[in-house]
A and B are shown apart, each in its own frame.
Chain A
Amino acid sequence: MADQKALFEFLLRMGDNSLILGHRVSEWCGLSPVLEEDIALANTALDLIGQTQFWLGLAGEVEGKDRSADDLAFLRDAWDFRNVLLVELPNGDFGQTLMRQFLYDAWSSIMLGRLMTSSDARVAEIAAKASKEVAYHVERSGDTVVGLGDGTEESHKRMQAALDYLWPYVGEMFDGDDVDAAMVKAGIAPDPASLREEYDAFVGKFLNQATLTVPTDVFHHKGGRTGYMHTEHLGHLLTSMQWLQRAYPGATW
């Protein structure tokens, strides 16, 4: 039997990634540049929140302290979140949002593909369901990145700026620690570093088509997936996401 504490930690990382990104994307609701994109982004956000329910639901079960997915989402503070920094970064302009989405979707689609053969049937099942949604997300965000990157002078400039800003946050998705080692040993999840080659090839193909230049600096920010230190942005996000449960504990509708 796998180390349950490590499994709980791993599931938090999966669930917090989709929760925080889902919330970020939902911030566009009603504000997108065109109606069609507004609906598409809302769909993406809903898919991500749906995936969160599975990941955090299972996390609560594994933890065994009677915490539900809602408890984990709404009643933890910033230091307990285990999402990578990339997903908590502000939306910026539409291009930055779509670039962030693409950089995450690409990782997510590869990760979920690997998790479908997880030794833990519950993990494999969630991955199988989520991977269908993410396959569509990455197709959409990838095409949009190409369209805007290889678009007008203005859109190209914005997409390059978005890539320059976000790229230093990509590396964290491939960091590994004791939790990952325990997951690899139990056959539950792959070593994050083992996804990098496929990721670079996949992302590189799209960015090349988008006529964008990948920054060469290898430095990357970290601290999100370990909970060591989040960016200042996460706290602000949580204040609006958790406000209702904090102000009216246990409120339902």
Chain B
Amino acid sequence: MSKEWPLWEVFIRGQHGLSHRHVGSLHAPDAEMAIKNARDVYTRRNEGVSLWVVEAQHIAASSPEEKGPLYEPSNSKVYRHPTFFDIPDEVGHM
């Protein structure tokens, strides 16, 4: 067994209505302690109303080598952005 505690990724919801945002990572022996450590390391200045922690090894990530096939095809498809609509002045700032 490794002597190192596993790595956890920490997500905080800043306020009600917003989604959780990744803020950093930490080490902890289990999920409960990870929540406690996250509370102590990342919420000292009133940063949030909800905490998520997930063991880093459970996060599946896209590989940087695949960035061509994954992202380039959309580069040439500007029409997918909703920028071709005329917005009536009465709407104001959107």
- Contacts from A to B (Cβ < 8 Å): 34-36, 39-40, 43, 136, 139-140, 143, 147
Which among B5, B32, B36 is the interface contact of A40 at CB below 8 angstroms?
B36
Residues of chain B with a CB closer than 8 A to A136's CB: 39
Tell yes or no: B49 within 8 A of A by CB. no
> B35 CB to closest chain A CB, in angstroms?
11
Nearest residue, chain B, Cβ from A44: B40
Are A40 and B40 in contact, with the CB atoms below 8 A?
yes
Given contacts A34-B27, A36-B26, A36-B27, contact A143 B32 (CB under 8 A): yes
A contacts with B: majority SS: helix
Residues of chain A with a CB closer than 8 A to B28's CB: 36
- Contacts from B to A (Cβ < 8 Å): 5, 26-29, 32-33, 36-37, 39-41, 44
- Determine the distance from Cα of A36 to Cα of B41 in the docked complex, in whole angstroms: 7
Are A143 and B33 in contact, with the CB atoms below 8 A?
yes
Nearest residue, chain B, Cβ from A37: B37
- Determine the distance from Cα of A241 to Cα of B41 in the docked complex, in whole angstroms: 26
Are B29 and A43 in contact, with the CB atoms below 8 A?
no
Given contacts A36-B26, A36-B28, contact A43 B5 (CB under 8 A): no
- Determine the distance from Cα of A143 to Cα of B33 in the docked complex, in whole angstroms: 8
Which 4 A-B residue pairings sit nearest by Cβ, starting from the closest? A36-B37, A40-B40, A39-B40, A43-B40
Are A40 and B37 in contact, with the CB atoms below 8 A?
yes
**Could you name 28 residue pairs across A and B whose Cβ atoms are closer than 8 Å?**
A34-B5, A34-B27, A35-B26, A35-B27, A35-B41, A36-B26, A36-B27, A36-B28, A36-B37, A36-B40, A36-B41, A39-B37, A39-B40, A39-B41, A40-B36, A40-B37, A40-B40, A40-B41, A43-B40, A43-B44, A136-B39, A139-B36, A140-B36, A143-B32, A143-B33, A143-B36, A147-B29, A147-B33
